[in-house]
Amino acid sequence: MTAWILSIAGVTILSVLVDLILPSGQTAKYIKNVFAFVLSFVIISPLPSLIKGKFNVNDIFESEEIILQEDFIYQVNRDKLTALEKSITEALDEEGFKNVLVTINADIFQIDMQIKEINVDLSDLVIDENSGHIDIEKAITEIIVKLVGEEVIIILNE
Q: Both 56 and 71 in a single domain?
A: no
Residue bearing the bigger pLDDT, 58 or 111: 111
Least confident segment among 43-47, 66-70, 147-151? 66-70
Last residue of a domain, one of 41, 61, 81: 61
Q: What is the pTM of this model?
A: 0.53
Q: Both 106 and 145 in a single domain?
A: yes
Band (pLDDT 50/70/90 cuts) for residue 9 is confident
Residue bearing the bigger pLDDT, 80 or 109: 80
Q: Both 50 and 84 in a single domain?
A: no
Band (pLDDT 50/70/90 cuts) for residue 62 is low
Q: Both 56 and 82 in a single domain?
A: no
Last residue of a domain, one of 45, 61, 77: 61
Q: Both 116 and 92 in a single domain?
A: yes
CATH code at 142?
A: 3.30.300
Query: With 60 as the cut, is the pLDDT of residue 68 above it?
Result: no
Q: Both 77 and 113 in a single domain?
A: yes
Give the model confidence (pLDDT) of 26-45 as tens digits. 787 888 888 888 888 888 87
Q: What is the span of the domain harbouring residue 22? A: 2-61
Query: With 60 as the cut, is the pLDDT of residue 73 above it?
Result: yes
Q: Both 72 and 117 in a single domain?
A: yes
Task: Return the sign of the alpha-carbon dihedral for residues 58, 64, 67, 68.
Answer: negative
Q: Both 76 and 146 in a single domain?
A: yes
Specify the pLDDT at position 29.
Answer: 82
Last residue of a domain, one of 44, 61, 78: 61
Q: Both 145 and 76 in a single domain?
A: yes
Counted domains in the chain: 2
Q: Both 16 and 76 in a single domain?
A: no
Query: With 60 as the cut, is the pLDDT of residue 66 above it?
Result: no
Give the model confidence (pLDDT) of 107-131 as tens digits. 877 777 788 888 888 888 777 666 6
Secondary structure (3-state) at 88: helix
Q: Both 42 and 99 in a single domain?
A: no
| C-beta atoms surrounding 104 within 10 Å | 20
Q: What is the DSSP letter of 23?
A: P
Q: What is the C-alpha to C-alpha distance for residues 94 and 96, in angstroms, rounded to an integer?
A: 5
